Amino acid sequence: MPKTTQYASRESDEKGHIAWSQEENQIWSELYARQIPLVKERACDEYIDGLNLLNLSENSIPQLPDINKVLKEKTGWQTAEVPALIPFGEFFRLLANKQFPVATFIRSREEFDYLQEPDIFHEVFGHCPLLTNPAFAHFTHTYGKLGLAASKEDRIYLARLYWFTVEFGLVKAKDELKIYGGGILSSPGETIYALDSDVPVRKPLSALDALRTPYRIDIMQPLYYILPEFDHLFELAEMDIMALVAKAKSLGLFEPLFEPKEKKAG
């Protein structure tokens, strides 16, 4: 996640509603229309089930209280309205309390295809459908509790596990590869690339390997890890993840599968 942002989150009224502009709603509508046909073919069934439960509007940005009603009933989760960027500690605190942070801004047309900050389309369309699923909700809650108690150094390792599961995870479903990572599902280009391209490496998920794998946020991913089945997230949540973090630290990181990011001239 970048350290600075050009975006400012919108504030809700006393009912939790945000008065989105016509242009903001139009951007949501165009993003939704472009992405829906892709995810219906490529996302895992658990995501599609959640999408149906949330019944997101096609034409306007959903209001978080409407999403909260469904999440509360299904898994006890809620969304939490946050600024465009929040500290790691606050992120873990929210997850540990079954609150999923949603930055209340939507990308500009200049960054329609890709932006580094997670906007409301990424959070609501990419992640919220799976928060209706018990396995995903349990894993995310456990991850939040671990991160809240972890040291600053250990949180960097935990971030890699989150990246390769919640954000950019693939799953085996009936002998097919499907997508469950919200970072993929909210990106038209990566939704196609993740399953169709012969460029990236695709490997069975090992939590230890994921903890040791560097990543970059501003490129198509060179590597995806594959869950053997969706409910494996329950097993992953019950592993001694912090012991695996300690082992990952002793073994060191894998060599990156990408070039270093070019530094801007000062």
Q: What are 157-166's pLDDT values in tens digits?
A: 999 999 999 9
Model-wide pTM > 0.85? yes
* Residue 76, pLDDT score: 98
| Mean pLDDT confidence for 246-262 | 94
pLDDT band at 117 (very low <50, low <70, confident <90, very high): confident
* Residue 32, pLDDT score: 98
Annotated binding site for Fe cation: 122, 127, 167
pLDDT at position 265 over 60: no
Domains of the chain: which residue ranges? 22-251
Q: Which of 2-16, 86-100, 161-175 has the lowest mean pLDDT?
A: 2-16
CATH for 22-251 is 1.10.800.10
Nearest-10 Cα torsion for 50, 125, 168, 150: -90
Instruction: List active site positions.
Output: 122, 127, 167, 186
Question: Which phi-psi region, left, alpha or beta, contains residue 15 (left: φ > 0; alpha: ψ -120 to 50)?
Answer: alpha
Phi/psi at 187 (5° precision): -125, 110
Annotated binding site: 122, 127, 167
* Residue 10, pLDDT score: 95
| Mean pLDDT confidence for 124-134 | 98
